[in-house]
Amino acid sequence: MDTLTRRGRAVRVAATVLGAALLLAGTLWGQDDHFPFGPFRMYSTAPEPDADAPDTRVEGVDATGRTVVLNEANSGLRRAEIEGQQQAYVDDPARLRQVAVAYAERNPGGAPLTEVRIVIRWVGIEDSRPTGTTRDEIIATWTAQ
């Protein structure tokens, strides 16, 4: 069985102390961008027990009037990508045109989209339990010219 040299132990102790210091600093002053040395707030907080829960989706309306739920399979865009830039789409709904373009590229034989919208379905919550009620809120809309 091999034993560590004095230098080997010193290197391991220094690495451990440095790692612990980074974790402590990240815990006290870090943000999500500092993960894994900062907190990942997505999992460290909880919503209010009576706050409605958002469920975001992207919808398109094609030239035939049919509503299509846009997802990774038919547009190449993941919901998280839209949610991560949600405020930018609200501020500039014309950016949703790119979603229509992505859909057209993946569905060359399909009817083109004449409208794309971001819809939040608010699920009713009381005492941390779903109530069975929902309401939809359209927060951004792009319409083809």
pLDDT at 142: 97
> Cβ(103)–Cβ(115) under 8 Å?
no
Please choose, from the candidates 46, 137, 60, the residue with its C-alpha nearest in 3D space to the C-alpha of residue 96: 60
CB atoms within 10 A of CB 118: 23
Adjacent-strand bridge partners of 59: 69, 117
pLDDT averaged per 10 residues in sequence order, the chain, 145 residues? 88 95 87 78 77 94 95 92 93 96 94 96 94 96 94
| Distance (Å) of CA 121 to CA 46, 51, 52, 100, 128 | 19, 13, 9, 21, 17
- For residues 111 and 44, give the distance between their C-alpha atoms in angstroms, rounded to a whole number: 44
CA angle 139, 140, 145 (to 5 degrees): 150
- For residues 89 and 141, give the distance between their C-alpha atoms in angstroms, rounded to a whole number: 9
pLDDT at 44: 67
